[in-house]
Amino acid sequence: MSIHSLVDLAPEVAEALQNGQAVVALESTIIAHGMPYPENLETAQRLEQLIREGGAVPATIAILGGRIKVGLEEEDLLFLAQSPEVVKASRRDLGWLLSTRQHAATTVAATMIGAKLAGIRMFATGGIGGVHRKAQETFDISADLQELARTPVGVVSAGVKSILDIPLTLEYLETMGVPVVGVGTREFPAFYTRESGSQAPFALSSSAEIAAMMHTHWQLELGSGILIANPIPEAFSMPAAEIEAVIETALQEAEERQITGKEVTPFLLNRIKELTAGNSLFSNIRLVENNARLAAEIAVALAKLS
Ligand code: PSU
Ligand code: MN
């Protein structure tokens, strides 16, 4: 079914949206560039399953054959998980990728755009992009932040990795008027750890409260997205000193190799994974699962309000 000439909705997603049922979007860059095979495929499948168990319909988003596909098939997930040549697509790439009929994985920014076109308000991921360390010199600020400023989709993430400058990322979100909701705590999480030393502007505890806040934000037609910062469960978090040392090494290597542009984040993610011998991958999978569960709960609560 099509609601837009460039978007294909899976029948199940179209039906759920038509009936006002809960739908949760998922990104595909995490599959193609965020994790190795086969963990990426298993995680993509598991996230969809968790969202179903939570009473919502999953809609993984990607660009396939020059179409924005919302709700993927098994073979699509397998393709994204296994093809090394899948392009990483953010906002600026969409017109080019669609007009030249390419395949691509969508970042948080591009997934938010797909979700909005489809009419989906809720999205779960692991971590978003942000203001990079030394952005004062490099100007490296993820397009995810601008997207949060302009596209009305709620994004559940476990905060951001400390490959980024977390205080500056929060300053940027404040400037752009993006609400950052701490889940159960104002401490803003740093992906692998529950603490970053920076604070979210406010905290809410239940999915009903979060859904009510999102609904109200959009009733005011504020137009922006909402970042829901959900800390990794204690049992799966990593020692802060261990992960910080690894991140320092990865950042130094990226600088030495003069990695720039959209290659920066995938390079750092991959080096962190290699340098922690897979420990970080385990934590990463657990926190994304945790985010998918929460997103389904919020989506169900939101569906009751709308
Ligand atoms: N951060 C993570 N894991 C990820 C990404 C970021 O901890 O998988 C991915 C997401 O798809 C995010 C993108 O939208 O990287 C941001 O890339 P960039 O920094 O180039 O904007
Ligand atoms: Mn960048």
Is the pLDDT at 140 greater than 70, yes or no? yes
Q: Whose structure tokens read 């205080």? A: 167
| Nearest ligand 1 atom to alpha carbon 129 | 16
Is the pLDDT at 46 greater than 60, yes or no? yes
Distance CA 81, CA 40 (A): 6
The helix/strand count (H/E) of the chain reads as 13, 11
Q: What is the pLDDT of residues 169-185, one digit of tens each?
A: 999 999 999 999 999 99
Q: What is the pLDDT of residues 255-278, one digit of tens each?
A: 999 999 999 999 999 999 999 988
User: What are the residue numbers of the active site?
Assistant: 27, 161
Q: What is the pLDDT of residues 244-258, one digit of tens each?
A: 999 999 999 999 999
Q: Is the CB of 111 under 6 A from ligand 1?
A: no
Cis before 38 (ω within 30): yes
Whether the CA torsion 104, 105, 108, 114 is positive or negative: it is positive
Q: Is the CB of 143 under 6 A from ligand 1?
A: yes
Distance 133 CA to ligand 2 centre (A): 11
- Percent of the chain's residues with pLDDT above 70: 99
pTM score over 0.75: yes
Q: What is the pLDDT of residue 85?
A: 85
Distance CA 27, CA 62 (A): 7
What is the DSSP secondary structure assignment for residue 188, as one 8-state letter?
P
Distance CA 298, CA 168 (A): 28
Phi, psi of 102 (to 5 degrees): -95, 175
Q: Is the CB of 122 under 6 A from ligand 1?
A: no
Is the pLDDT at 1 greater than 60, yes or no? no
Q: What is the pLDDT of residue 306?
A: 84
Q: Dihedral (C-alpha) 45, 51, 55, 61: value to the nearest 10 degrees?
A: -90
Q: Is the CB of 127 under 6 A from ligand 1?
A: yes
Q: Which of 128, 140, 260, 285 has most ligand 1 atoms within 8 Å of CB, for mutation? A: 128
Q: What is the pLDDT of residue 190?
A: 98
Name the band, by pLDDT with cuts 50, 70 and 90, for residue 14.
very high
Q: Is the CB of 237 under 6 A from ligand 1?
A: no
- Residues less than 5 Å from ion ligand 2, measured at CB: 140
Distance 129 CA to ligand 1 centre (A): 5
Q: Is the CB of 157 under 6 A from ligand 1?
A: no
Ligand nearest to the CA of 31: 1
Ligand nearest to the CA of 88: 1
Q: Is the CB of 147 under 6 A from ligand 1?
A: no
Q: What is the pLDDT of residues 194-210, one digit of tens each?
A: 999 999 999 999 999 99
Distance 62 CA to ligand 2 centre (A): 20
Is the pLDDT at 109 greater than 90, yes or no? yes
| Nearest ligand 1 atom to alpha carbon 109 | 14
Q: What is the pLDDT of residues 114-135, one digit of tens each?
A: 999 999 999 999 999 999 999 9
Q: What is the pLDDT of residue 276?
A: 92
Q: What is the pLDDT of residue 2?
A: 64
Q: What is the pLDDT of residue 285?
A: 97
Q: What is the pLDDT of residue 38?
A: 97
Q: What is the pLDDT of residue 277?
A: 83
